[in-house]
Amino acid sequence: MSTSRSNRVKAAIGTVSLTGAAMGFMSGCAVGGEEQEAERVYCVDEQDQVVDEEQCEEAERNGGFVGGVPFFFLLGGFGGNRYSVGQTIPQQYTGAATRVNPSDTTARSRAGLPGSGRVTSGTRISGGIGTGGGRVGSGSVGS
């Protein structure tokens, strides 16, 4: 093999190796080998039943409660499922979800929600790779 051809083969092999390494790096950005699921927000009651957004809007004006019943924004992945008013979100998803008191403007902002006003159930939450807008952890935010 001539020196010129040998150098071209080595260059081609080096390019393939770098491309493979870059692909490996990008797949390493995923969680568990899969892309991270987009987070959504739902207005729920204390039993994690999806309620009309007006409940959270009213709870925002009344310290998180309507008629003595607490309402929350529930933020999570929910297994890629979408839920409608009247459906209960399964516990397998609510355990890792974050609850936000609708009247806590600081907690709402930290969670990627507008500081006040209506939030439509099923809305995708801001955040993602490189944005710095995602949340870390689970549990309750605000009280």
User: pLDDT band for position 38 (50/70/90)?
Assistant: confident
The residue ranges of every structural domain in the chain are 1-35, 40-141
* Sequence-distant contacts of 21-30: CB under 8 A, at least 24 apart: 29/129
Mean local confidence (pLDDT), 46-70:
97
The pLDDT tens digits for 70-90 are 999 999 999 989 999 999 999
Distance CA 63, CA 101 (A): 8
User: pLDDT band for position 125 (50/70/90)?
Assistant: confident
Name the residue with higher pLDDT: 108 or 31: 108
Query: How much is the pLDDT for 2?
Result: 57
Query: How much is the pLDDT for 7?
Result: 56
The pLDDT tens digits for 110-119 are 999 999 999 9
Name the residue with higher pLDDT: 56 or 137: 56
**Does pLDDT of 98 surpass 60?**
yes
Q: Which residue blocks in the chain are alpha helix, DSSP H?
A: 3-28, 53-61, 91-94, 105-110
Mean local confidence (pLDDT), 35-57:
90
